[in-house]
Structure 1
Amino acid sequence: MSTDYKFQGWLGLDAESAKGKMVWKEYEPKEFEETDVDIKITHCGICGSDIHTLRSGWAPSDFPVCVGHEIVGHAVRVGDKVKGIKVGDRVGVGAQSGACMNQKGDCEACADGLQQHCPHMVQTFNHKWPSGAKSYGGYADYWRGSGDFVIPIPDGIPSDEAAPMLCGGVTAFSPLTQNGAGPGKKVGIIGIGGLGHFGIMGAKALGCTEIIAISRSSTKKEDALKMGATGFIATDEEEDWATKHAGTLDIVVSTVSSPKMPLQQYLQLLKLKGKFVQVGAPEDVVPPINMFSLIFKRVSIGGSLIGSPQEIKDMLKLFVEKDVHTWNVNVPMSDANKAIVDMDAGKARYRYVLVNEKHLK
């Protein structure tokens, strides 16, 4: 079955594309299968992963790439084997587009509902489908991929606010729920950026007793308190901050991607059996730590990767109930090159969202 639409979008042709040098071009998507959905894109959030990929920061990228994995739009083609999605539905897709989905137990991740840790995961861009076809992201007019990872968007969330929730939102939300955040818990969120602002709002929605925003300076303190933080630590401004606030937090979620993070001091903030969870992904190694930081208080260090389709659905449901709204700035899709440069410069407050205006008509 042929379509009357073309797959075209902003392509990064080399590492220079991260400097605002993407080009708008047509590309060939994966061959449509009856398990797939085509989405007519109306909105796509800009994630830090986009910048890392465009500049080959984590690893050499498979150029050309079309980045963007916070995609919202309408289903325009739905395979016969897709369940729960029909043509016309408002839907979205996050950072993951595929997994083996093996429920027999020989893929532990998928059997446990942790598809984001499947060893056969297909990332929404700069990756390969089992057929060998390249995956392309959402800085584009259309997206094609597995219906298993296409998420219905609840009526209570506008499309521009929903888009960043599909990656940024669940990346901060998942480690909170996985580590018992809720009433009675005291949580710290490191980094008040695109991920961190979701961490604060997610912790508030979960009913955490205290939410401490942690940043190098106090420039974002007022915003953090409006988002739901009950306290604030400015590490470059408050002398002996780690000692003053030692042993006060049950969970610390770090959203920063700087390899220069003061990890040893962050661990001091934790209570007995406290948990430090890293979600930001630096391009270099982080500083070493003294193992007594872990031993004396039975502290644990962990990591978390995006979220499963079910976690995304649960998060969206809660965000509707608790009236959570993304702090986003909308930018025309045609201005994507300027937007990624501004994003990399730290100007986002707190997520940029590309709007495909011709698809809003």
Structure 2
Amino acid sequence: MAKERGDNYYTIELGQAFIGDQSHVVPENTERYHHERTVAYKRCIKLVESYLATGTVDWTPALHCAAFPVESDALRTSFLKFLSELTNRELKPNTIDGYRRFTYYFIEYLEGKGYRSLADVKRGDIAAFISVICSERYQATSLGAHMPGLKLFLSMFGETEPFLPEIPGHLPKKRDILKVYSDDEYNRIIAHLDEAEGLSFRNKAITILAMNTGLRAVDICAVRLRDIDWEHGIIHIVQQKTGRTHDIPLTEAIGNALVDCLLNERPVSDLDFVFLRSVAPHGPLMSHAGIRNILFNVVNDSDIEAKGRSYGTRITRHSTASRMLRNGVPLPVISEALGHGNKDSVMIYITTDNAKLAECTLPLPRGGACHG
């Protein structure tokens, strides 16, 4: 890349261009895109910049966020107590990870200011941290999902509890129009499943489930053989996010895809999971990234342009709801079909359809000016 750009020396701009390079996403590339490779790009640049700054390179494996060592014994003890409290509250794994990550950044911020314990925290530090975290790591619109973790942390200790009022009571919420697949794109993806050579029965079944049910990746991975009620044409699951039971109609397309996967391809295993890894040892397919990569390859091979849209079950879930909405399915029925824990959650899917948005607008008053 440096040669192509005509750069003889490393620059910050070159490093950012390398990290942002998407040439490996091109479908013709047989290696395909995968998350680990993108992480490796960032790791590579980090090593280069570390060497240029210090003259040495730290070759130790990169650790997950919130796993880096906290230098201060007092701060480390406070953080570990917080992690223990999260576990005791039996929160969802994704919630725990989000709270842990966000609060770790707060601990890291305190150490960066030279603080050795929570007793060093001063008025204004919480507000300053929120400002920094918004400029460096998070969008302000995403803080609402993580702020409860910081609130819990601050409330656990007498030194920090007085600073709780510094956390803003109202955070901005992003209200973008959701990105979805059109009816034409949906039909092209489904047609590709029947025409594609070399596409595994497992990946075909996963795609059909995602495109036609709106299931989350974590729920697709968790489907077990005992969940399939062939006699009554239902798949019974317990949603990982909400903990609620959810019944999915076993349509002809889904049933046939599952039969092909189970009878013609699935490795012999004592495991009860429907979808297993294709490479030995054939453990359960448990990775959200794995489902994303399957959908990424199927959609790309269907000649569907990204158009700024992401891949994975997030867009297939939104697309399922949008397709039901365009077909005149009432919002409560869509909410039930997607297994929402909160019935109001379905309202966001109105933003996927301009016609439905137009139906929701109020007419301008006649016969006079509007007064606020």
- Measured against the shorter chain, the TM-score band is under 0.3
Higher fraction of strand: 1
TM-score for both structures, normalised by structure 2:
0.27
In our comparison, the structure showing a higher alpha carbon Rg is 2
TM-score for both structures, normalised by structure 1:
0.28
Query: Which of the pair has the greater relative contact order for Cα pairs under 8 Å at 6+ separation?
Result: 1
